[in-house]
Chain A
């Protein structure tokens, strides 16, 4: 690995301006909505005004008669379903026979002007036969019929999973202390500043091109081919730079597919730009999760058994929900030593916009629960919660109870860093009434170990073209969503080749121009694209070294300062451009490739595919709050956060991601709610989003941000490019529980719910239990649990009550070619 290179870095670790900065600050960057073409038509979707109903009839005649309308589409135009996961192909681009939430698209109008399309869409008459509305997971469990979908694990349960990694009830029975808790984490949405937009056209290259604000152009490519019946080789998906995604643009979306179909029907470019309200209907945001935890510890506080049950409100479609369900349990084990672990997870369908992945995907909810739960355990045992986290941190190279292989772990240095910076030892439990400190720690993936659809191909590929001018072009399918992945690509190539970062031109986010990268999700791009980039660059370096003709052994050839030279005699050498020219002369055009596929995971049981990652990042936060007892208003005074980045490719961008995560987390922790309103049933059957607007969906604005002190912990990860880990998602995780724990330190009440609103704090202050939060978990008919003995109880990674699954890859390989 390049991580072993002992020489000082050319580019890495330096606070360089990102390569795409000028375009962003001058307005030159073209976002999806900036694309326009001559003769372009506008698309508007007509959306359901009822939460759950059969479509009896659709009358489009009045819309078609409007001057300027070129086409009207309905569900009949889209008989083929799609969905991000192969197991949840449950969406139609326009509803076929049923609508499942207010906002579900029913018909589409294409017109010469957007206003005409909007006015005509309002003339579409839909006759609905209402069905019982399912508004909550509790209702979904109670009301099996009517089913929102006719697949899943029975009734309105989409997915239910159960695992026993060792005998937890036995561990709890013999524990020194058992603590039981219930938590609720409210749903919230991504609130990316850029609304989704798409432009589709049939070009003179005889391709269908879809320009879309998507984090996953490769998956849009596959879904479009499947639904539209166009060969994938004749579809090109372009993902321009985005104004934020955060998981909200990782599904293939109905509006993208409808725009493409409309372009095929009319032969004209077709554009759609969603309103903010429509983005709230696309959603795919954080699942509301109810949690029940029971944990047994020994006298020293070591966890002998941990049990978690989760109930997810999935909304109307599958989306990533099966993965989300697994994620509410998968990463419980990667921070602290846990001897035995029991997990039950259940996702229900409800008549609301579909939930999916948002920054931290499925893990912030149980992380909130676990970190508050531990705070309570420490309180009961009289232990310092910061020291507990240090004493119980997982050791590097551990294999967890649920068979996750964890390599480098920066947890302890993260905790130590925030403890020192915040003055924790002198100030915790000593700040006096109304002022408090809280701590929490966390971990996140650096990329999912498995792709969304089963295949053995690389997760990311990078192709380099070295020009005789000394310029290098890097091609990759990765999507720049604002996180800085273009900069990571340029920096790594520049580092290996010893050239200026601006001499690397990146071409990304285009399925026709770069090798596949699976997309900007699961914090995978820096590690996976990065490793592919380093491999491609090292191959280029080898070719240049071989052709340099310096007359010295290859191992003495160094690259730096845009030169190729003798490491022992730096004066002796040639320019980088000259080296490319010599390589071209010797062996032809200089182009190389690199690709990356994560290592195989040690777990083999069904469900073991969710959780493995080449590496895990760690974070810890201390938060100081002031709580006003007369109103319950919480003011965040300061956040100290440390993040285990492995190695910072660009520390400014890393800090930006950490601060952005803190910002997003504080919004979730203090106020954000994807909440729904039911009206008096005798008057209306409506179930509507309470606040589908950027004004009334409350999230912090810049001026609401407290001071944030960011500390980066650099401990290179062998599996990361030059040791780098992720930073896009992990630092969000410790913030909500640290805040809850700080509120407890300030006023000694527990708000076991997110968001922690003034109403809840005041209610807890006035309650005899000094607590606000759920106190029960509904009965769920769990499937028979898979019994997987932990590594230290003689397990081999398989479930003992399930047939060995060795043959499954063979069977699935046949599905690879399918779109």
Chain B
């Protein structure tokens, strides 16, 4: 069977202790917050941290505060299955409930956490493999090698963001708190991500993502998450489209935010489509089609996930239109 490599395990009870441990250990340590992504990666030796700092004993990270009327804060260890089944979230931030429900399978959603899903390692079919497989092709730059096998001439890594909740939280304008030994800072979720397959988080090694803050929804706010994948039961997104919007009664778009997963190393902002939609009527099929085209234009797939690249481009149009239709009452 696949064995985990050797590592030391710390189980602090306080967030400050965890932050202090990370400050000590630097890049030698990883945070464990559910483990459904990290532990398989460790078994494949994609990551081999000397120490794991387990967060499960830190109660504060499970806390929830606020309410839909004022905005809500979810502790980083909130399980994906809790979000999936939470009626207040489903009513006020439906895209988040939809995204959480579409992650992996029920047992994995019972283990996986919101913070863990946001920090999910980027994925690539040349990287998510066992050590002998990676030795057989010659290691890639994301782990042990020099080259990017997706784009051999490229100076950067093109591994793909594959989290379902990140594009949704970007579209909802949510924020996260990052805690370190030096203190804490609060940033928009959008700013948590960097456009690089290796350094895909702006979070520093000493920082722990402790909470997610959801804005109070306006009465006319709508949101949706549409996911393209091989199997409805189980799979990472090859394209995830998260959209939120405020619509007037006649269908005119007041404001929209649209982010994509599975199309780059960070959630892709479909800013052109958003600008186009502002002030236009989503009920107009031509408007909807043109916006969908614009979304598909930024959904630039690479050949490192499931499905062929050209098909994914064609399917992107259809799925973008579907997402936009979901925004209509």
Contacts and interface: CB of A to CB of B under 8 A. Distances in A.
Interface of A: 33, 47, 49-50, 102-103, 114-115, 118, 122, 195, 273, 275-277, 628, 630-632, 671, 677, 679-680, 683-684, 686, 688-693, 695-696, 698, 700-704, 758-759, 762
A102 B136 contact: yes
B116 to A, nearest CB: 17
B231 A701 contact: yes
A692 B133 contact: yes
A703 B130 contact: no
B133 A700 contact: no
A632 B136 CA distance: 35
A579 B128 CA distance: 65
A118 B231 contact: no
Given A275-B2, A275-B130, A759-B311, A683 B152 contact: yes
Contacts of A686: 136-138
11 contacts: A49-B135, A114-B3, A122-B131, A273-B1, A275-B130, A679-B137, A692-B133, A696-B306, A698-B230, A758-B307, A759-B308
Nearest to A102: B136
10 cross-chain pairs, A with B, having the tightest CB-CB distances, nearest first: A703-B233, A701-B233, A49-B136, A759-B311, A686-B137, A115-B3, A630-B318, A102-B136, A49-B135, A698-B230
Given A102-B136, A684-B137, A692 B3 contact: no
Contacts of B129: 692-693
Interface string B306-318: 1110110011011
Given A114-B3, A684-B137, A696-B306, A704 B132 contact: no
Interface string B133-147: 101111000000001
Given A680-B152, A692-B130, A758 B311 contact: yes
Nearest to A45: B132
Given A277-B130, A693-B129, 9 more contacts: A49-B132, A50-B136, A115-B3, A122-B131, A628-B318, A677-B137, A684-B137, A688-B137, A700-B231
A42 B224 CA distance: 50
B329 interface: no
Given A50-B136, A759-B307, A690 B231 contact: no
A683 B145 CA distance: 13
A698 B137 contact: no
B128 A696 contact: yes
A128 to B, nearest CB: 11
A102 B130 CA distance: 13
Interface in B241-288: none
A57 B315 CA distance: 50
Main secondary structure of the interface of B (DSSP, over half): loop
A478 B315 CA distance: 49
Contacts of B6: 115
Contacts of A49: 132, 135-136
Nearest to B106: A703
Contact of A758 (B1, B137, B233, B315): B315
A700 B152 CA distance: 33
Nearest to B104: A695
A370 B1 CA distance: 41
B233 A702 contact: yes
Contact of A762 (B230, B232, B311): B311
B234 interface: yes
A95 B168 CA distance: 51
A760 to B, nearest CB: 9
Given A679-B137, A759-B307, A698 B132 contact: no
Given A277-B133, A690-B125, A691-B125, A703 B232 contact: yes
A294 B233 CA distance: 40
B218 interface: no
B202 interface: no
A693 B6 CA distance: 23
A103 B132 CA distance: 8
B149 interface: yes
B3 A698 contact: no
Interface centre among B129, B137, B235, B317 (most CB of A within 10 A): B137
Interface in B90-120: 105
B306 to A, nearest CB: 7
Contacts of A695: 234-235
Contacts, number: 90
Nearest to A698: B230
A693 B232 CA distance: 18
B231 A631 contact: no
Nearest to B318: A630
A696 B308 CA distance: 14
A574 B273 CA distance: 87
A631 B133 contact: no
B149 A679 contact: yes
Given A631-B318, A680-B152, A690-B125, A701 B1 contact: no
Contact of B314 (A33, A122, A275, A762): A762
Interface centre among B136, B230, B311, B318 (most CB of A within 10 A): B136
A759 B307 CA distance: 8
Contacts of B306: 696, 698
A114 B306 CA distance: 32
Contacts of B233: 700-704
A275 B138 contact: no
A702 B6 CA distance: 35
B5 to A, nearest CB: 8
Nearest to B229: A698
A679 B152 CA distance: 10
Contacts of B132: 47, 49, 102-103, 277
A727 B234 CA distance: 29
A122 B5 CA distance: 13
Nearest to B312: A759
B234 A114 contact: no
Interface string B210-244: 00000000000000000000111111000000000
B128 A631 contact: no
A514 to B, nearest CB: 30
Nearest to B305: A696
Contacts of B125: 690-691, 696
A679 B151 CA distance: 11
Nearest to A759: B311
Nearest to A272: B1
A773 to B, nearest CB: 16
A155 to B, nearest CB: 26
A275 B2 CA distance: 6
Nearest to A678: B137
Contacts of B315: 631, 758
Interface centre among B105, B133, B149 (most CB of A within 10 A): B133
A26 B31 CA distance: 36
Contact of A698 (B2, B231, B311): B231
A513 B4 CA distance: 39
A684 B138 CA distance: 7
Contacts of B311: 632, 758-759, 762
A255 to B, nearest CB: 13
Given A114-B1, A698-B306, A701-B231, A688 B133 contact: yes
Interface in B1-39: 1-3, 5-6
A255 B3 CA distance: 18
Nearest to A103: B132
Contacts of B137: 677, 679, 684, 686, 688
A806 B117 CA distance: 70
A49 B306 CA distance: 24
B232 A671 contact: no
Nearest to A671: B230
A689 B306 CA distance: 14
Contacts of A114: 1, 3
Interface in B143-181: 147, 149, 152
Contacts of B308: 759
A118 B131 CA distance: 11
A277 B129 CA distance: 9
A436 B246 CA distance: 40
A688 B318 contact: no
